[in-house]
């Protein structure tokens, strides 16, 4: 076969609609004056694998509706007018139309989401077909996909570059103020009423076998709790997950783009929505997340193919020029300068100070009164399943460190708090929300901070394997001038964190305060006499500990803490077997939420 020349092979062509083995997989959205971004949104979601894209528009002045009409003429999307009745908000109005729309009635799978939201699939090859395959393989018929809030990433000036490639910094996964959800599910208009975040079961099917047939997964492919079948629009600690999919939410973009958004208004007609308080909430840049880049090549191919249509090309560039013209009129004015200054001040607000007030306070009694008998019976099941004997419950530790690889490449604004003798940052790149609360209250690892300095013998040595934040060792350096503290941490990012912590607290690296890379446990123990051994490296299991004790001897006290304690609490009996073999007779009085400690019997 003769190969085409590069120029012929790379020539953009108008794309074709995707065909899915799962039938009609539809996206439903609402837009108002999204002209600069419409084609990227369309191209991206065609690349992801939606077969049908249905968009409702209201009050457009920049050609957004005309672009969607042209896309429908080309057979690539569908456009509907959102004629809004008096007293109704645009989004609920559009969903009422979508509920009775023949196109949606014919959908097999459906997802409702906004123009500033882009679906990002991490499961498998990143395709929607693969994601649905995975959902079905788990016996599911839906997925609750949590927002991932993306900030400006320091971008100021307007650019025509793709949103999904410009903004690569986001809130930490465990930041619960950004846990709104969107729901991908098998749709049947006879039993489901569409909603912004999730559909609602119609009353007529509540007291039938239908609720038991609903199995939704979270964004990590694990079953959702039963309560979410009936109510809720946010993930909680027990249900959040990003391993399979997330909904990238680009609510602010860069400063100039945010200014353009103020001019455009918003689909819900909320007054003063785009102010500096909203910017502070949404401009989260604590960690880098470039998972969206997996779609860049295919998205660009589709985008450029769309622009081969002369009418789409004209409308797209007209929308850009209109928006840029308004922006240029605003730039250079005192109002623009004040606008920018306010946003930069808002960007400096640490994540621990950001407030996100719900529209209405939860009224638990009112919710209980509205719950159907079916819902009460369904949501009672998990409560019974969660009841465990007290002796099991009080072994469950608080997970204080972020799971997986810690990304410290961003430099977000941070608050520092006094925790015993240490100034400690409330850093969401490293610490989980429960830990951030402890830090802000000055109570991080309090039981250890109070007791370990007392347990250390005069002139003793403290060795921490998997030191993570290095908090306890830093506290020891501050409290006990006679002891040697050795912190061992395999992550270069966390070693840099510890060095920054030491700089802040005036700790100088020396023979007395050592920071080391990874070394095998037996070698670390044999290098010096150790009085207290703290184990926070979750790769250490009971057999490794047994081998190290046999090869290098065992210290007076051993602490299981941090990441190891959170990950291996279920292996406690195996660890205790090792301790018993080596003469540890006393379990120290430490809250099992924090650590487990063992001391040898007196000789």
Q: Report pLDDT digits (tens) over 113-171.
A: 999 999 999 999 999 999 999 999 999 999 999 999 999 999 999 999 999 999 999 99
Roughly what angle, to the nearest 10 degrees, separates helices 310-330 and 38-48?
Answer: 130
List the one residue out of 487, 474, 496, 468 whose CA is nearest residue 562: 468
Please name the residue that has the structure tokens 């498998």. Answer: 124
pLDDT for the residue numbered 387: 45
> For residue 572, what are the domain limits?
416-600
HSE, side-chain direction, 13 A CA sphere, residue 466:
20
Q: Is 235 part of a structural domain of the chain?
A: yes
Confidence at residue 261, expressed as pLDDT on a 0 to 100 scale:
84
Q: Which of residues 353, 370, 405 is at a domain's end?
A: 353
Residue 394 lies in a domain: no
d(C-alpha 202, C-alpha 186), whole Å: 15
322 plus 456 within the same structural domain: no
Largest Cα separation within the chain, whole Å, is 89
Q: Are residues 339 and 428 in the same domain?
A: no
Whether residues 432 and 337 share a domain: the answer is: no
Q: Among 10-24, 381-395, 461-475, 482-496, which stretch is predicted with the lowest mean pLDDT?
A: 381-395
The CA distance from 411 to 424, in Å, is: 16
pTM for the complete prediction?
0.82
Whether residues 134 and 217 fall in one domain? yes
Question: Which of 300, 335, 353 represents a domain boundary (last residue)?
Answer: 353
Q: Are 443 and 511 in contact (CB under 8 A)?
A: no
What average pLDDT does the chain have?
91
What's the CATH code of the domain at 475?
Answer: 3.40.50.150
Vertex 16 angle, CA 11 and 18, to 5°? 130
In angstroms, what CA-CA distances link 546 with 411, 467, 554? 41, 20, 9
Three-state SS at 513: strand
Domain count of the chain?
Answer: 2
In a domain, 382, yes or no: no
Say yes or no to pLDDT of 69 above 90: yes
One domain, residues 291 and 437: no
Q: Does any domain span residue 546?
A: yes
Q: How far is CA 119 from the centre of its chain?
A: 13
Q: d(Cα 288, Cα 125) in Å, to the nearest integer?
A: 21
- By DSSP bridging, strand 595-600 and strand 557-561 are antiparallel
pLDDT of residue 365: 66
DSSP H/E element including 300: helix 296-306
Query: Over 70: is that where the pLDDT of 525 sits?
Result: yes
Main-chain phi, psi angles of 404, to 5 degrees: 75, -165
The answer, yes or no, to whether residue 389 has pLDDT greater than 60, is no
Question: Residues 209, 339: one domain?
Answer: yes
**Residues 287, 288, 290, 291: is their CA dihedral positive or negative?**
negative
Helix residue spans in 196-293 (DSSP H): 210-213, 255-264, 276-282
DSSP run (H or E) holding 195: none
Whether 212 and 63 share a structural domain: yes
Q: Is the pLDDT at 31 greater than 80, yes or no?
A: yes
d(CA 255, CA 259): 6
CA–CA separation, 164 vs 181, rounded Å? 19
What percent of the chain is predicted at pLDDT more than 70?
90
Distance CA 346, CA 51 (A): 40
pLDDT at 511 exceeding the cut of 90: yes
pLDDT in tens, 400-453: 998 888 888 888 999 999 999 999 999 999 998 889 989 999 999 999 999 999
508 DSSP 8-state letter: P
Whether residue 157 lies inside any domain: the answer is: yes
Q: How far is CA 577 from CA 267, 530, 546, 574, 585, in A?
A: 62, 21, 9, 5, 11
Answer whether residue 265 is part of any domain. Answer: yes
My answer on whether 185 and 325 are in the same domain is yes
| Of 597, 555, 578, the residue nearest 457 (C-alpha) | 555
Phi-psi sector, 459: left (phi>0), alpha (psi -120 to 50), beta: left
Q: Percent of the chain at pLDDT above 90?
A: 81
Instruction: Check pLDDT > 80 for residue 3.
Output: no
Residues 220 and 304 in one domain: yes
- Tokens matching residue 277: 């308080």
376 located within any domain: no
Q: Which residue has the higher pLDDT, 402 or 300?
A: 300
Residue 59 is assigned to a structural domain of this protein: yes
* Calpha distance 351→369 (Å, rounded): 36
- Asked whether residue 344 falls in the same domain as residue 433, the answer is no
Tokens representing 367 are 């919710």
Judge if 433 and 295 occupy the same domain.
no
Whether residue 420 sits in one domain with residue 551: yes
First to last CA, the chain: 84
Interatomic CA distance for residues 402 and 276, integer angstroms: 29
- Cα separation of 473 and 467, whole Å? 8
Domain stops at, among 353, 381, 401: 353
Task: Tell me which H or E stretch contains 487.
Answer: strand 484-488
Q: 464 CB contacts (<8 Å, ≥6 apart)?
A: 470, 472, 473, 485, 486, 487, 488, 534, 536
- H/E stretch holding 103: helix 102-105
């Amino acid at each position: 076969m003769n190969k085409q020349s590069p120029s012929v092979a790379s020539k953009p062509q108008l794309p074709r609609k995707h065909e899915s083995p799962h039938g009609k997989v539809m996206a439903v959205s609402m837009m108002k004056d999204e002209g600069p971004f419409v084609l990227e949104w369309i191209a991206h979601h065609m690349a992801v694998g939606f077969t049908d894209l249905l968009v409702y528009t209201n009050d457009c002045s920049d050609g957004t509706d005309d672009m969607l009409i042209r896309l429908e003429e080309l057979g690539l999307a569908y456009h509907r007018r959102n004629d809004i009745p008096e007293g109704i908000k645009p989004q609920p109005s559009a969903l009422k139309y979508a509920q009775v729309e023949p196109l949606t009635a014919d959908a097999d799978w459906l997802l409702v989401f906004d123009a500033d939201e882009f679906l990002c699939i991490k499961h498998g090859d990143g395709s929607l077909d693969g994601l649905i395959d995975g959902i079905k393989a788990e016996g599911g018929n839906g997925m609750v996909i949590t927002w991932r809030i993306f900030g400006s990433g320091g971008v100021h000036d307007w650019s025509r570059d793709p949103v999904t490639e410009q903004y690569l910094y986001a809130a930490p996964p465990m930041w619960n103020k950004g846990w709104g959800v969107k729901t991908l599910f098998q749709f049947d208009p006879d039993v489901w009423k569409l909603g912004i975040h999730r559909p609602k079961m119609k009353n007529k099917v509540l007291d039938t076998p239908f609720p038991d047939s609903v199995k939704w997964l979270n964004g990590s492919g694990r079953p959702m709790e039963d309560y979410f079948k009936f109510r809720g629009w946010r993930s909680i600690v027990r249900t959040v997950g990003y391993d399979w999919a997330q909904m990238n939410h680009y609510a602010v973009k860069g400063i100039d783009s945010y200014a353009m958004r103020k001019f455009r208004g918003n689909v819900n007609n909320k007054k003063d929505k785009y102010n500096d308080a909203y910017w502070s909430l949404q401009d989260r840049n604590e960690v880098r997340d470039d998972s969206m880049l997996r779609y860049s090549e295919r998205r660009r191919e589709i985008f450029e193919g769309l622009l081969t249509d002369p009418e789409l090309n004209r409308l797209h560039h007209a929308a850009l020029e209109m928006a840029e013209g308004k922006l240029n009129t605003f730039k250079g004015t005192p109002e623009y300068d004040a606008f920018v200054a306010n946003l930069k001040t808002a960007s400096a607000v640490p994540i621990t100070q950001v407030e996100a007030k719900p529209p209405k306070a939860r009224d638990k009694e009112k919710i209980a009164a509205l719950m159907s008998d079916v819902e009460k019976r369904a949501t009672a099941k998990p409560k019974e399943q969660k009841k465990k004997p007290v002796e099991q419950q009080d072994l469950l530790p608080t997970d204080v460190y972020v799971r997986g690889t810690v990304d410290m490449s961003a430099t977000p604004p941070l608050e520092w708090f006094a925790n015993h003798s240490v100034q400690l940052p409330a850093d969401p790149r490293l610490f989980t929300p429960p830990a951030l609360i402890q830090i802000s209250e000055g109570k991080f690892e309090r039981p250890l901070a109070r007791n370990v300095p007392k347990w250390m013998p005069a002139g003793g040595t403290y060795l921490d394997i998997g030191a993570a934040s290095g908090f306890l060792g830093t506290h020891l350096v501050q409290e006990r001038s006679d002891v040697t503290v050795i912190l061992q941490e395999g992550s270069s990012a966390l070693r840099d964190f510890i060095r920054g912590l030491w700089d802040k607290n005036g700790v100088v690296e020396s023979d007395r305060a050592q920071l080391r890379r990874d070394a095998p446990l037996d070698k670390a123990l044999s290098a010096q006499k150790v009085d207290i051994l703290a184990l926070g490296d979750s790769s250490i299991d009971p057999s490794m500990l047994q081998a190290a004790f046999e090869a290098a001897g065992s210290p007076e006290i051993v602490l299981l803490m941090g990441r190891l304690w959170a990950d291996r609490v279920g292996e406690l009996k195996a660890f205790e077997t090792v301790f018993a073999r080596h003469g540890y007779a006393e379990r120290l009085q430490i809250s099992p939420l924090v650590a487990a400690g063992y001391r040898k019997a007196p000789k």
